[in-house]
Amino acid sequence: MDEIHLAKIFSVFFLSTVKFLFAPGTAIASGISPVQTIFITSSGGITGITFFYFFGRWVFEQIDAWRYRNLSSKQKRIFTKRNRYIVKFKLSFGLIGLIIVTPAILSIPIGSVVAAKFYYENKYTYPLLVVSTIIWSIGLTIFSSTVKDQFFG
């Protein structure tokens, strides 16, 4: 395996951790085989989910601890537009909707942090994120490979 091929693999892996939607297409266009693409993008996506899910949870715990120490109990919480949007999103889509859109559409960092914030207590959240990433990896790789064969054959 030469250095250029290894650089392509690492590039696709790191792209998969943050912007999953473009990773399989980039891998296929770079000449990486579909089977390797599925493994590389799945591994990168799972790495991103693991980091952002657990790090996001830790960040929210720190923020909550800071708020508890620094805010008076007499202060009334303000319900902002952003809070309304978050509640509306949670009620409209739920965990399954979030799991479906996270890897490709919403992006791994945002989806993982939102999942950690609202669904951390659900024991299925993290495994479902992983499974969703693998399914998206297979689907996007098949799509990218088909497009490459049909138009650039």
Residues 6+ positions from 102 with CB-CB distance below 8 Å: 49, 108, 110, 111, 112, 115, 129, 132, 133
pLDDT for the residue 73: 56
Q: Please determine, for residue 63, whether its predicted confidence score (pLDDT) is greater than 80.
A: no
Q: Please determine, for residue 75, whether its predicted confidence score (pLDDT) is greater than 80.
A: no
Q: 12, 56, 15, 53: which is closest to 30 by C-alpha?
A: 12
Spatial distance between the Cα atoms of 140 and 18, rounded to a whole number of angstroms: 16
Any idea which of 34-38, 41-45, 68-72, 93-97 has the lowest mean pLDDT?
A: 68-72
Per-residue pLDDT reduced to its tens digit, 80-119: 877 787 778 778 888 888 898 888 888 899 889 889 888 8
Spatial distance between the Cα atoms of 135 and 103, rounded to a whole number of angstroms: 10
Per-residue pLDDT reduced to its tens digit, 10-32: 999 999 999 999 999 999 999 99
Residues 6+ positions from 112 with CB-CB distance below 8 Å: 48, 49, 51, 52, 53, 56, 102, 129
Question: Once rounded to an integer, what is the mean pLDDT over residues 61-87?
Answer: 71
Q: Sorting pLDDT into bands at 50, 70 and 90, what band is 1?
A: low
| Cα–Cα separations (whole angstroms), residue 37 to 25, 34, 81, 147 | 9, 5, 40, 15
